[in-house]
Amino acid sequence: MSLVIDTLRTSTVTDELSDAEVQVIEGLFDVQEYKSGEVIVQPGDARPDNLYVLAYGDIEVKIESDDGESIIHVLKPGDLAGMITFVGGAATQISATLYAVGATKVLSLERDKFESLINSHPMIIYRVMRGVARNMHGIVRRANSQSTELRNYIYRANGRY
């Protein structure tokens, strides 16, 4: 199989797609390679509406803080990035910078290419967007869990600290 199909099969975006439907969207993705430390996406980027799927390597998600950049998460193969702007959010909402950790390969999908399927394959669009929503929901669940854990630690609640 190809890198694109193998990667898409590990991602939530294709959970509801058949093999034939995955082959329809396979050609829409570009494969990009990055060296360790290279910026993949940053605030003010020229391609703010692309969806990224990590194919190989790791990606550090960093945000700017008073103390400099802080790593808030490390993406693993199959994870998504760029979801907010891909679904129509404003580019000004981007606050994180993505950095390659080691040799990294990323699948990139331009929103315009994806939207070209609206008339010919509306169910693919629908199912992929459900996968994006599931991925976002997982991020929110993880953030809520980490927030609860931090709150319990700070206030020494629930007898675990």
The predicted structure's pLDDT at residue 47 = 64
Between 14-23, 69-78, 124-133, the lowest mean confidence (pLDDT) is in 69-78
| Contact criterion met (CB below 8 Å) for 44 and 158 | no
91 has a pLDDT exceeding 70 = no
SS3 11: coil
Global pTM?
Answer: 0.86
3 has a pLDDT exceeding 60 = yes
The predicted structure's pLDDT at residue 85 = 84
Residues contacting 3, CB < 8 A, separation 6+: 31, 55, 56, 105, 107
Q: What is the CATH number of domain 3-155?
A: 2.60.120.10
Residues contacting 14, CB < 8 A, separation 6+: 8, 21, 22, 25, 128, 131
The predicted structure's pLDDT at residue 1 = 61
pLDDT band of residue 161 (cuts 50, 70, 90) is low
Q: Which amino acid is at 49?
A: D
| Contact criterion met (CB below 8 Å) for 75 and 105 | no
147 has a pLDDT exceeding 90 = no
Return the structure tokens found at 76: 């693993």
Q: What is the CB neighbour count within 10 angstroms for residue 44?
A: 8
- Domain ranges in the chain are 3-155
Residues contacting 134, CB < 8 A, separation 6+: 12, 15
76 has a pLDDT exceeding 90 = yes
Residues contacting 109, CB < 8 A, separation 6+: 25, 28, 29, 30, 50, 51, 52, 53, 86
Evaluate the CA torsion angle 73, 137, 42, 103 in order and state its sign: positive
136 has a pLDDT exceeding 80 = yes
158 has a pLDDT exceeding 80 = no
pLDDT tens sequence across 20-52 = 999 999 999 999 999 999 999 888 776 668 999
18 has a pLDDT exceeding 70 = yes
Average pLDDT score, the chain: 89
Q: What are phi and psi of 27, to 5 degrees?
A: -70, -10
